[in-house]
Amino acid sequence: MGIQDSALRTERGTRDSGPGNWSPTPDRIPTPPPTPDPLIYYRPSLFDLNIVSLLVSFAVLLISLSVHEFAHAWTADRFGDPTPRFHGRVSLNPVVHIDPLGTLLLPLLAIASGAPIIGWAKPVPVNVGRLRRHQRDFLIVAAAGPVSNLMLAVIASMLIRATTGGGGLDRMLFLAFQLNLLLAVFNLIPIPPLDGGNILGSLLSGNLADGFNRLRPYGFLLLYVLLLTGTLGYILGPPYFFLSRVLRP
């Protein structure tokens, strides 16, 4: 998630995405069961974690969301659209990516209450019409966010293997591994306004594209239904467990 066509209106309509990077996080990576179980979400609480752990959890989330949005902005800028640069989004500074509700209030309330952490950053404005090869480049811009989180998960895994083991640093790196792996998998779900929805929309044409774009206003409603019914865990579980086995520290 996290990119937004800010200007182009075509016969296929405008590709608008909502707030980006909604992120429930797991509390551990269990051994994959024979059949997929619902994903276990990370639920830190003020009642069972100290303030340092809570702040570290929030900091890891903030950095991960910022890298995700920076990847969208930098890629769009490289492919010819200066819109993200004009808005100051080609930056790793978390301040420029913060959404007061999705990046600050809701994650902190979730941490304090022990609920699953959900959050998002401000979507990056992208003018598809200014990209050199409109549909192909928009697909790459959309994929850049999840790819950046996958790269962070790989880096965290490598650093965990390189450390001596134990201690606060290992716990922080393992949290970064879990969170970024889940961010990558979650954002590739092909439901708009997630990045997976933007990728799929870029591959469609004609009536299929028009019909798919009409689903965009209802994308978040569908995601909440999947979350509240527990279906989301069954969707995320198989690819998450597969990647965790491949990349596991």
Choice among 5, 69, 137, 195 that is catalytic: 69
Q: Which among 16-20, 41-45, 172-176 has the top mean pLDDT?
A: 172-176
Q: How many separate domains does the chain show?
A: 1
**CA distance linking residue 81 with residue 142, whole number of Å:** 14
What tens digit of pLDDT does each residue of 204-232 get?
Answer: 988 998 899 888 889 888 988 888 888 98
Single pTM value for the model: 0.79
Q: pLDDT band at 53, cuts 50/70/90?
A: confident
Which residue do the tokens 């799929």 mark?
A: 200
What tens digit of pLDDT does each residue of 118-154 get?
Answer: 677 899 999 999 999 999 999 999 999 999 999 999 9
Tell me whether residue 69 is one of the annotated catalytic residues.
Answer: yes
Q: Which amino acid is at 102?
A: G
- Checking if the pLDDT of 45 tops 80, the result is no
Which residue do the tokens 């209802």 mark?
A: 218
Instruction: Return the percentage of the chain with pLDDT > 70, whole number.
Output: 76
**121 CB contacts (<8 Å, ≥6 apart)?**
2, 19, 20, 21, 65, 66, 68, 69, 97, 98, 99, 102, 103
Angle between helices 206-213 and 195-203 (to 10 degrees): 160
Q: pLDDT band at 19, cuts 50/70/90?
A: very low
Q: Is the dihedral of CA 181, 39, 230, 114 positive or negative?
A: negative
What tens digit of pLDDT does each residue of 55-110 get?
Answer: 888 899 899 999 999 999 999 999 999 999 999 999 999 999 998 888 888 787 77
Contact (CB, 8 A) for 1 and 21: yes
Q: Tell me the average pLDDT across 30-58.
A: 53
Give strand pairing partners of 126. 5
Domain coverage including residue 152 = 3-247
